[in-house]
Structure 1
Amino acid sequence: MKIVVAGAGYAGTLAANRLAKKVPEAEITVINPRPEFVERVRLHQQIAGTGEVTTPLAEMLRAGVRSRLATVGKIGDGSVVLDTGESVDFDHLVLAVGSTVSPLPGTVAVGTWEGAERARTALADLPPGATVTVIGTGATGIETAAEVAEARPDLRVRLVGSRLAAAFSDGARRRVRAGLERLKVSVLEDSVTEVLRGEGERGADKILLRSDPDGPLHADLTLWAVLGSIPDLAGRSGLAVDDRGRALVDPYLRSVSDPRIFVVGDCAAVPGSRAACQTAGPQGAHAADTLARTIRGREPEPYSMGYFGTGLSLGRRDGVIQLSRRDDSARRQYLAGRSAAVLKEGVTLGAKYGARTATIAWLSGPK
């Protein structure tokens, strides 16, 4: 029995480790373009130099799980073709290639390890008084702006996007804004249409806004913190996808095009889900459980998962936790301050622990 896991993020790593426990006779191979597990929810710490975000895959995968350093170029009939030109056969495949970013030209994307490392280097070279603009007012942008502002109080930090913490309740949004103001992050709710890269070593970027009331903004470093692009692997391989390129799945997280293929994480079109490690872990675990049940000749059970909230860190000592209903809609209640920062750190540690140990629990979905 050959099982291939494409992608070693939260969902893929957890699925591989859980399968190794439940189907010990299987030959499990994890294919990943990096030799490390990357905690994407900590990339803002990598940018600011306030935390480590990578762990060698050898320390994350259970004994007996093989890993190959490569990128899957295409999925065929019972095999995957790698960017090296080699192919790897499978009886079952777990597709967990996650999401990527499509930044505006002239910006540095911070949603990948490579982009975050580039941003870290550029940030370290900025002199006091320089201006950093972060584009994107979702979780990635907010955490990036706050982390940079706290780590480099000598810089001017600006956050630009259409609506600050749009999924939060009004009270939680106000608290996020207050936390950013405490760190002296200026917030501008507007849409960016274009970024013109500055010329020369210290040439300032020109950031064009949709409303453009006072002309373009200027920045010494412009960071792109908008996520959501999906690799086109599933579509290129002939799997059915939605309009965002996510693979369509049945109630058991199997591709509707090929039941040998399970799809989990950001690249899976699961109704009601959003991109988050809170989503990836349960999907990786359920796919592993369903595959194990199938191999043992047992009937699969449909996937069900409910949310409990969304956490934001505002530097190392502040945060906001927006509590939610199981359908992910925001409640009025939220947590804030140091206790929220501690809880967010605990959830982040727990997500990595779950991926490494394959031990995880989650809420069932809304009725």
Structure 2
Amino acid sequence: MQVVVVGSGYSGTLVANRIDRTVQDARITVINPRPDFVERVRLHQQIAGTYSAATPLAQVLREAITVRVGAVDKIGDGAVALADGGRIDFDYAFVAVGSTVVPMPGTVAVGTWEGAQQARAVLTDLPGGGRVTVIGGGPTGIETAAEIAEARPDLRVRLIGSAVGGGLSAGAHRRLRTGLERLTVEIIDDEVTEVVSDAGQFAGVVRLRSGADLGSDLTLWAIVADVPDLAVRSGLAVDARGRVVVDEFLRSTSDARIFAVGDCAAVPGARFACYTALPQAIHAADNLARLCKGRKLKPHSFPYWNRGISLGRRDAITQFTHADDSVRRAYLAGRGAVALKEMGTHSAFSSARAGVSRF
């Protein structure tokens, strides 16, 4: 049986390794645009130079798995069409291409490996007193601004968002802003309407809806809200955001031979996070194993219990949630939250590499 996995982030890597462990006689091919596994939840550390977020796929995928480095043009009708003209047939396929970032012109996208590398290079050359602007008030923006401010206290870091930390409880929200202020991050609750860059570089003027113009020596776009258009190009059923519409077993409603997991899958109630992608990957891989054994498939369900946000290496927020991801009043901050966040991040990597659940 030929299985193709498109994408080797957290969910794709876990799917491939788990199928290799559990499905007898499966011949697995992983297609990825780069030869490395990227710990996306550590890209803010990659930018700040506090961690190397890339590991060769050969070190995270099981030995029997074939790796094809390249881009996918379309998937469907039992085959994957590659951008280089190649074709790989499959009995079952998994779409695990994750989410992506479409940056505003004049900014660097921090939610991609290429953007993180570019941002790191510019940041390394930025002299003391330089102004770094991070656009995006969600976890990606918060973690990026905090990591840079802690690693480079000689820089002036500002964070702009319409509602910085808005998804937290009132107490966690206040503690978050206190943590950012301790790192001397300037918080601006506003919307960016335009970035006017100097000669194609990432320095220039950031214009706000309020009418203010802010000078910036490096402007980073930290809003992760899009998915690759592979599913759209392939003619699969998608939702308004371009995510693959799946049934309760995580199979495409257009083609039952295709599973979709992670950020690119329209799983009801799921948010962009490896926290949700990994359980989906485990469940989809196990459903394939059930299919191969003639057993009944199980519907996917997943209860939330927290959201974690790092504030540099020595501070963090853990927001506790109800099972439906609505926030509780309770939260944890400081060293305890740091330990929980680091444990979760490490578990995500080790789970993907081992093909097992470590949550």
| TM norm. shorter chain > 0.5 | yes
Q: CA deviation at 1:71?
A: 1.2
Aligned equivalent of 1:220, options 217, 221, 228 = 217
Per-residue Cα deviation, 1:51-102 (whole angstroms, up to 9, x for no partner): 1101111111112111110111111310001111100000000000011101
Aligned to 1:121: 121
Aligned to 2:14: 14
Q: CA deviation at 1:205?
A: 1.2
Aligned to 2:207: 208
CA contact 1:46–1:52 (8 Å) conserved in 2: yes
Count of residue correspondences = 359
CA contact 1:7–1:30 (8 Å) conserved in 2: yes
Please list every run of 5 or more consecutive structure 1 residues that lacks an aligned counterpart in the other structure: 363-367
Q: Work out the CA distance in 1 between the residues paired with 2:203 and 2:64.
A: 51
Where in structure 1 do 4 or more consecutive aligned residues deviate above 3 Å?
A: none
Per-residue Cα deviation, 1:128-183 (whole angstroms, up to 9, x for no partner): 11100000010000000000000100000000011011211011011110000000
Q: CA deviation at 1:361?
A: 5.7
CA contact 2:348–2:358 (8 Å) conserved in 1: no
Aligned to 1:143: 143
1:47 aligned onto 2:44 = no
CA contact 1:23–1:292 (8 Å) conserved in 2: yes
CA contact 2:48–2:148 (8 Å) conserved in 1: yes
Q: CA deviation at 1:204?
A: 4.3
CA contact 2:246–2:266 (8 Å) conserved in 1: yes
Q: Work out the CA distance in 1 between the residues paired with 2:331 and 2:117.
A: 32
Q: Work out the CA distance in 2 between the residues paired with 1:361 and 1:341.
A: 18
Query: Secondary structure of 2:16's match?
Result: helix
Q: Work out the CA distance in 1 between the residues paired with 2:203 and 2:344.
A: 38
CA contact 2:106–2:200 (8 Å) conserved in 1: no
The sequence identity of aligned pairs, in percent, is: 60
Per-residue Cα deviation, 1:198-242 (whole angstroms, up to 9, x for no partner): 2488x9411111122xx3111010000000211111011110001
Counterparts of residues 188-267 of structure 1 (less than 5 Å):
188-199=188-199, 204-212=203-211, 215-267=212-264
Letter in structure 2 aligned against 1:281: L
CA contact 1:282–1:361 (8 Å) conserved in 2: no
Letter in structure 1 aligned against 2:166: A
Aligned equivalent of 1:295, options 292, 312, 317 = 292
Q: Work out the CA distance in 2 between the residues paired with 1:284 and 1:329.
A: 23
Aligned to 2:320: 323
Q: Work out the CA distance in 2 between the residues paired with 1:343 and 1:230.
A: 28
Per-residue Cα deviation, 1:24-70 (whole angstroms, up to 9, x for no partner): 31100110011111000000000000011011111111121111101
Aligned to 2:278: 281
Q: Work out the CA distance in 2 between the residues paired with 1:10 and 1:208.
A: 36
Counterparts of residues 300-315 of structure 1 (less than 5 Å):
300-315=297-312
Query: Secondary structure of 2:347's match?
Result: helix
**Alpha-carbon RMSD:** 1.1
Q: Work out the CA distance in 2 between the residues paired with 1:361 and 1:317.
A: 24
CA contact 1:100–1:112 (8 Å) conserved in 2: yes
CA contact 2:347–2:358 (8 Å) conserved in 1: no
Please list every run of 5 or more consecutive structure 2 residues that lacks an aligned counterpart in the other structure: none
Q: Work out the CA distance in 1 between the residues paired with 2:256 and 2:276.
A: 21
Query: Secondary structure of 2:344's match?
Result: helix
Q: Work out the CA distance in 1 between the residues paired with 2:204 and 2:323.
A: 42
CA contact 2:194–2:206 (8 Å) conserved in 1: yes
Letter in structure 2 aligned against 1:95: V
TM-score (norm 2): 0.98
CA contact 2:141–2:159 (8 Å) conserved in 1: yes
CA contact 2:99–2:263 (8 Å) conserved in 1: yes
CA contact 1:161–1:188 (8 Å) conserved in 2: yes
Letter in structure 2 aligned against 1:81: A
Q: Work out the CA distance in 2 between the residues paired with 1:353 and 1:318.
A: 23
1:173 aligned onto 2:170 = no
Q: Work out the CA distance in 1 between the residues paired with 2:353 and 2:203.
A: 43
Q: Work out the CA distance in 1 between the residues paired with 2:185 and 2:219.
A: 14
CA contact 2:30–2:65 (8 Å) conserved in 1: yes
CA contact 1:16–1:30 (8 Å) conserved in 2: yes
1:333 aligned onto 2:330 = yes
